[in-house]
Amino acid sequence: MPTLTIRDALNEALREEIIRDDNVFIMGEEVAEYDGAYKVTRGLWKEFGNKRVVDTPITELGFAALGVGAAMAGLRPVIEFMTMNFAVLASDQIINHAAKMSYMSDGQFNIPIVFRGPNGSAYQVSSQHSQAFEAFYANWPGLKVVMPATAADAKGLLKSAIRDDNPVLFLEQERMYGLKDDVPEDDDFTIPLGVADVKREGADCTVVARSMTVPLAMQAAEIAQKDLDVSVEVIDPRTIKPLDIDTIVESVKKTNRLVIAEESHAFASVGAEISHQVMENAFDYLDAPVFRISTAEAPMPYAKNLEELALPSVEKIIEGIKTVSYI
């Protein structure tokens, strides 16, 4: 099984799906001749040409609208935003058109489209380029929201997203593009949307993490086992909507404690939704209040030391584990 970076796993998924289905094409800023702002589309334009890998002007609303129209006509566009912060300009097309078209047309139109790009913080890119949008998009019926945390998940989930007949927000993490993992060579390797993954089994405390916080949670779990003698189970939902709450609830029924680590802000977040659903379905199993770790409720600072203070960390997750374990 080859070891790939998340960047290369995404590239492999795109290449395989372009070959598999003549209706798949990629469109976005600098995706073609420049090989993509983060090199996710590296080599694809040279291999497949202008009709399958399409450069656009800096017009997020415009090329998102072209993508929605192409999906209505039966194609399967993959729309890359240089960052999901810029996708705010295209949110009318994503929310008012892609998300609602099947419902408003009484099923006459499916919108098999993927909107993908980096979500959340990078390194010192400040307030307007460090925002996490998963809760924003998950709030709208008709949209699916996916957040991979490993190279294997990135490949398998992206292939499933491209094959899905519904609009999918595929939210990557710029800090994670270089992380490596074993990835199956199978051209037909897919991971179903809406299925969580138990990244680490444990008995004493459940940590639900996603995207950037998954490797942080894994590190915290190792430290908790060694230094605190606390066995931590780490669950990655992978798909935010639809959410596999059953896997999370079953874990909480086993461990009786829950820590949620997320990069987004705490107010009206995915973590708040998970906390509420666990309360509804496993309240009697909780031996401690749910503990949440989120990004500070402030615009992201530019200064490196302040950025580190604002974001989730291994230390903050360990503190959460200690709190719910009454240590």
The catalytic position among 60, 233, 273, 307 is 60
Contact 251, 235 (CB under 8 A): yes
Q: Is 108 exposed, middle or buried (0-12, 13-18, 19+ CB in 10 A)?
A: exposed
Written in H, E and C, the secondary structure of 51-101 is CCEEECCCCHHHHHHHHHHHHHCCCEEEEECCCCCHHHHHHHHHHHHHCCH
CA 16/CA 3 separation, integer angstroms = 17
Residue 129 annotated in active site: yes
Marked catalytic residue, from 80, 129, 174, 273: 129
Q: Is 60 a catalytic residue?
A: yes
Burial class (CB in 10 A: 0-12, 13-18, 19+), 232: buried
Cα separation, 203 vs 252, in Å, equals 9
Q: Bridge-partner residues for 53, per DSSP?
A: 26
Which of 12, 106, 32, 99 is closest to 64 using CA atoms?
Answer: 99
- Known catalytic residues? 60, 129
